[in-house]
Amino acid sequence: MINFDDIEVVELPEFNGGTGVTKGRMIIDNNVKIMKAELEKGSSIGEHTHTTSSEIIYIISGVAKCILDGKEEIVKAGECHYCPKGSTHSVINENDDTLVMFCVVPNQ
């Protein structure tokens, strides 16, 4: 079992060229990176390409604007955004509420 409340918060300013600060609690090993992340209003994870892995992002609370290979999608709490290996994406919080998400990046 993983209790993310027991993991220290790491602040990632302008994560992947984004804006603001991404706050994350991360577990990284040889098989996977798992992160519970928070984006405040106006913050984003910059556009980046997943050349070696895919990524699954589950929205816990808030609303994310995700741009996947140039196409915008709105992802709400209880929904997932999926970035396949080889695709480019970004995640943006344009809403007043903090965006809280659970991200999984398996080594492939």
pLDDT, tens only, 54-79 = 999 999 999 999 999 999 999 999 99
Q: Is the pTM here over 0.85, yes or no?
A: yes
Q: Which residue's structure tokens are 């919080």?
A: 93
For residue 89, the enclosing domain spans 10-106
Measure the CA–CA gap between 56 and 80, rounded to whole angstroms.
Answer: 7
Residue 67 lies in a domain: yes
For residue 57, give every residue at least 6 positions away whose Cβ sits within 8 Å of its Cβ, in sequence order, or none: 64, 66, 75, 80, 81, 82, 83, 91, 101, 102, 103, 104
Residue 54 lies in a domain: yes
| Phi and psi torsions of 93, nearest 5° | -110, 105
Q: What is the per-residue pLDDT for 2?
A: 87
In a domain, 4, yes or no: no
